[in-house]
Each structure stands twice: as structure tokens, then as C-alpha cells.
Amino acid sequence: MNATDNRPGHSSDAADRHLPVLLQRCVDLLAPALTEPGSVLVDCTLGMGGHTQAVLEQIPTARVIGIDRDPQALALAGERLARFGDRFTPVHAVYDEIVSVVDEHAGGAAQGVLMDLGVSSLQLDEAERGFAYAQDAPLDMRMDSTQDLTAADVLNTYDERDLARILREYGEERFASRIAKNIVRRRSEREWDRSGELVDLLRASIPAATRKTGGHPAKRTFQALRIEVNGELEVLERAVPAAIESLAVGGRIVVESYQSLEDRIVKRAIAQGTTSSAPAGLPVEPETHRPYLEALTRGAEEADAEERERNPRSASVRLRAARRLRPTPDHLRHRTTKHHTAKEDRR
């Protein structure tokens, strides 16, 4: 589907198709850093532009650079946000490219960074993208349709050991080895190409007693495949430190995670900045070892019961935020490495 699809059940209006998670909380956390005219927010995961629209409407001094790897999302968000003119700049990129994006479009420093991680509503709702296990579809799962690797490629070419590792590490799947063995056995008869067939195999691979709890039996495997296809955790490992380095002093970063692997990466990066790096026992803390971030949330915030009822996709959200106090000390500054796109990082 494209931005002008008018089939029944579809809308060309991005605002009708996505309910942003913790929308007002995100805006309120970012607003103090965006009060000066021309202040820049980088929305690293633009999606259909819900968070960006709220910022542009509520904070007239701000402009937003919206990054997304999905051309379809950029097209939909671009239509939605066209009325803001040059206050909104769309960029087709993977968000670990944030340093070069900020250099090109914001003069090297941003006042705010927002990351709303995971798969977008657009991707989940488009059956033909293959992200949702509730509907039979091609085994695609690419966030960027211009990249090569698909979920079918993973299932048809990875060896059994790699498949088990991916399911175990990225899906936290207890029955990873059994599922991997069954995937390889099935592909010896015919290649994988449809998600419905995979769901059937997963249901048969997981013991009936286990299927009664823990959600849909395909949930963890589909998560693992999506993460592998799009290199999500490797990208996030690079992106969070890079985003912090892109922040001006006084700038704020807000990150929404939806599963423990993501949240762990975010928590670690923020903790490094909010913790003194001085050796224990020093009578005076050297200036170069003082924290360069201040946490704006106590741990990870969750959606309240009202929002979970209104928007089921908010049930697993974990929100963390921090403010930059000063430049990162040289001995802690992350080395900038040549960016590799998810396409280049995948097999």
C-alpha cells in the first residue's frame, strides 16, 4: 500500500492510523530544551509523525528533523506534516546515522532527541509487510523495503545453530533449539515464503501446556526475526551513544522501548552518563569524571491503566529520559566509526 491507498479499511491519513504512546509525556519532557527559536528536535523514528506533529503544534519555537528507514512512513508523515513547511525536514536514513544527519541539517548539535523504538503501527497494520503473525503474508519484515535481506532469507539460508541463537537471544524463546531444528527440516522439503506456515510450525513446536500462557506462540520468534532482518539491536547500540553526542548542553533525550533487550541498551547508555567515572575513594571528584547526564525519569516510566486500555500497544512501553549537563569527557567519548547501514551489516 502507498500513501494514496483508498481500499476499504485503509486510510491515506497517517493521523487516523496511529496512536502515539505516551505522547504528552514525551512532549513535556522535551519542551524545556526547545524554547529558543530554531531549536531542533531529531525524531529518530518518525513513523507516521504523531510525536513530531504534537511537538510542532505545541512548541512553536521548535523545528523537527524526522528520520525513518521506511520510505512509506516518510511519505505518509510528509503528507501529514506538510502544513508546517520548513519546520519539518524528512530524512531517509537509519537512525544510527544521527551524527551525520545533525551535521547536515542542524549545524552539528540538536536540542532534543526522541526515539520510539520497535516496529511501527504502519508496519504492523500492513499485512503484506509480514510483521504480524495474526495474518498470513509473505515473510518479509523489512522496515526498509530497499534492503535485500528478508525473513524468508533468514529462514531459508541460516544454519540451525544460528537460527537457534537468534531465537534465543532476540526472542528469548525457551524452545529455540526445537524450533530451529523444525525450521531446517521443513525447508529441506520446500522453502519458506509465507508467515501462516511459520505460525503453524511454531504452534506445533511449542508444548500445549506452555501455549496456554505467555501470549501467542509466534510472538517471540517473529520478534527475533524482525530484529535480525533489520539489525535493530546493533543499530540501537550505536544510535543511543551517537544521539547523546549529538545533543547540545542542556539538550534532552527521550527513549521509548518495548522489550527488555532494547531497554537494557538504553539504560546502560544513560547510566554511563549519569554516573561518576572517578575511582572510588577519591577525596575530591575531578571535574573530568563528573556525570555529563542527568536522569529525568526515576528508572523507566510505564503507561498508566487508562492509556493501556485506550492503546494496547502501550502496555509494554518503558520510557527513559536524560538531560545533557556538559560535554562528554574525552576519556569517555565514544569513538565515531564509519556508519554501516542495516543492509550492509546483514548477511
123 has binding-site annotation? yes
95 has binding-site annotation? yes
Start-to-end C-alpha separation, the chain: 27
Angstrom CA distances, 113 to 23, 120, 122, 174, 284, stand at 14, 18, 22, 35, 33
345 has binding-site annotation? no
CA 232 to chain CA centroid, nearest Å: 7
CA–CA separation, 253 and 240 (whole Å): 9
Cell of 115: 526515539
Using left for φ > 0, alpha for ψ between -120 and 50, and beta otherwise, residue 9 falls in: left
116 has binding-site annotation? yes
50 has binding-site annotation? yes
Cβ distance 93 to 82 under 8 Å? no
> Would you call 283 helix, strand, or coil by DSSP?
coil
334 has binding-site annotation? no
Cell of 121: 503501527
Per the document, the length of the chain is 347
Parallel/antiparallel/unpaired status of strands 88-92 and 62-68: parallel
CA–CA separation, 253 and 246 (whole Å): 10
Cell 520510505 sits on residue? 71
Cβ distance 30 to 252 under 8 Å? yes
133 has binding-site annotation? no
Q: Give the residue ranges of the annotated binding site.
A: 49-51, 68, 95, 116, 123
Annotated binding site for S-adenosyl-L-methionine: 49-51, 68, 95, 116, 123
